[in-house]
């Protein structure tokens, strides 16, 4: 089965996307894989599978490989006297901006390219944590209380200490800080605003129970991963998450009650359906006093959350066989023809 993995992108998570692509390559050995790298200037390169190593990109070796361009139905590799089309479905593995903000989804829809990943609407609502909370609350899913602040409102925070400061449109814990007292605040805000114009302020709950659940839908039926209870100190910082993105071994299932598993799956299904059709996503939840709260949605999880599935390769095959397609509008100019005939022109 043919599949191209798209990775890279112009975002703060560019390098993490490379790590994810290398990891997923090792988990999809039964596929006929191609690799498409998007550099920070939005140029696409067809990468030799044997060169799928992090240093290929850090050393600029990809610049020697074929450059390709988006065209109707796929990517085109142009030569001096000829061109070659690459028309396989795409696995969107670009984390952060470009991949998760709706840019790639819009491009693929525009060019009629089949792909695994969140569609435009899902991307916009899950990329911005502010909007994700609105979505969850509108669906009856609880979230922690929050404030959204900008540079102009940085001095009007009402949340009591301790709290977490996080960029609204960034993942991998980049720019995230725990603020326990007033003297730590300015530095935390300065760090956050380096990465985003909008920050979220949320209460920090020490030792809160956190659970991760991934899944995807095939013909209306959701396939759930195991539930993971991530092992961490206070929160997963960037370095821990960077290593986390290279995980390929199945993790241990959380030791929780069937009732809690059902609550988590019910919340996941409510978030997923029908907005995320065509994507494999991971939802991160808190459990507080027996109730489930959505922390965030990962529309393109690190390494596609392969480590949460017993048969990750089989799951991708199922998802490929059930991707949504955008209805094409064929223009026949009947309206213009009827006007022209009526006017005799």
For the beta carbon of residue 152, count every other beta carbon within 10 angstroms: 7
Q: Which fold has domain 147-203?
A: Dna Ligase; domain 1 (3.30.1490)
Q: Supply 323's token pair.
A: 């991707």
Query: 124-140+206-320 with 147-203: one CATH topology?
Result: no
Domain ranges of the chain: 2-117, 124-140+206-320, 147-203
pLDDT band at 246 (very low <50, low <70, confident <90, very high): low
Question: Does residue 238 register a pLDDT over 60?
Answer: no
Cα–Cα distances (Å) from 138 to 30, 199, 222, in that order, read: 41, 21, 21
User: What DSSP designation does 142 have?
Assistant: B
Peptide bond into 162 cis (omega under 30): yes
The set of residues, in sequence order, having a beta carbon less than 8 Å from that of 108 and lying 6+ positions away, is 90, 92, 114, 115
8 A C-beta contact, residue 8 and residue 45: no
With CA atoms as reference, report the closest residue to 299 among 322, 266, 272.
272
User: What DSSP designation does 274 have?
Assistant: T
- pLDDT on residue 239: 55
8 A C-beta contact, residue 18 and residue 57: yes
> With respect to CATH, is domain 124-140+206-320 assigned 3.30.470.20?
yes
- pLDDT on residue 329: 84
2-117 sits in which CATH class? alpha beta
| Main-chain dihedrals φ then ψ at residue 209, nearest 5 degrees | -75, 130
Give the model confidence (pLDDT) of 180-222 as tens digits. Answer: 999 999 999 999 999 999 999 999 998 899 999 999 999 989 9
Give the model confidence (pLDDT) of 43-58 as tens digits. Answer: 999 999 999 999 999 9
Give the model confidence (pLDDT) of 116-158 as tens digits. Answer: 999 999 999 999 999 999 999 999 999 999 999 999 999 899 9
Choice between 232 and 77, residue whose per-residue pLDDT is larger: 77
| Main-chain dihedrals φ then ψ at residue 236, nearest 5 degrees | -75, 110
Total residues belonging to the chain:
345
Q: Supply 25's token pair.
A: 């390559």
């Amino acid at each position: 089965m043919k599949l191209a993995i798209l990775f890279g992108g112009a975002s703060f998570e560019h390098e993490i996307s490379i790590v994810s692509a290398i990891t997923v390559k090792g988990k999809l050995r039964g596929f006929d894989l191609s690799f498409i790298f998007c550099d920070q200037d939005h140029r696409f390169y067809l990468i030799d599978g044997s060169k799928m190593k992090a240093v290929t990109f850090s050393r600029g070796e990809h610049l020697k490989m074929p450059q390709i361009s988006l065209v109707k139905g796929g990517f085109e590799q142009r030569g001096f006297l000829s061109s070659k089309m690459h028309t396989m479905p795409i696995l969107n593995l670009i984390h952060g901006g470009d991949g998760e903000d709706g840019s790639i989804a819009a491009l693929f829809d525009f060019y009629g390219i089949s792909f695994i990943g969140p569609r435009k609407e899902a991307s916009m609502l899950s990329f911005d944590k502010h909007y994700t909370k609105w979505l969850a609350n509108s669906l009856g899913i609880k979230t922690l209380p929050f404030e959204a602040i900008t540079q102009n409102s940085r001095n009007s925070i009402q949340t009591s200490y301790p709290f977490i400061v996080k960029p609204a449109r960034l993942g991998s814990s980049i720019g995230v800080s725990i603020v326990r007292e007033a003297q730590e605040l300015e530095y935390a805000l300065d760090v956050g605003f380096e990465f985003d114009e909008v920050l979220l302020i949320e209460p920090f709950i020490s030792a809160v129970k956190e659970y991760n659940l991934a899944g995807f839908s095939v013909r209306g039926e959701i396939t759930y991963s195991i539930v993971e209870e991530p092992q961490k100190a206070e929160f997963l910082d960037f370095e821990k998450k960077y290593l986390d993105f290279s995980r390929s071994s199945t993790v241990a299932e959380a030791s929780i009650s069937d009732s809690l598993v059902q609550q988590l799956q019910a919340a996941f299904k409510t978030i997923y359906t029908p907005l995320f059709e065509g994507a494999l996503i991971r939802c991160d939840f808190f459990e507080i006093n027996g109730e489930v709260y959505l922390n965030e949605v990962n529309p393109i999880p690190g390494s596609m959350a392969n480590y949460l599935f017993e048969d990750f390769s089989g799951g991708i095959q199922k998802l490929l066989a059930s991707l949504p397609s955008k209805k094409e509008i064929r223009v026949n100019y009947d309206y213009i023809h009827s006007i022209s005939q009526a006017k005799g022109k």
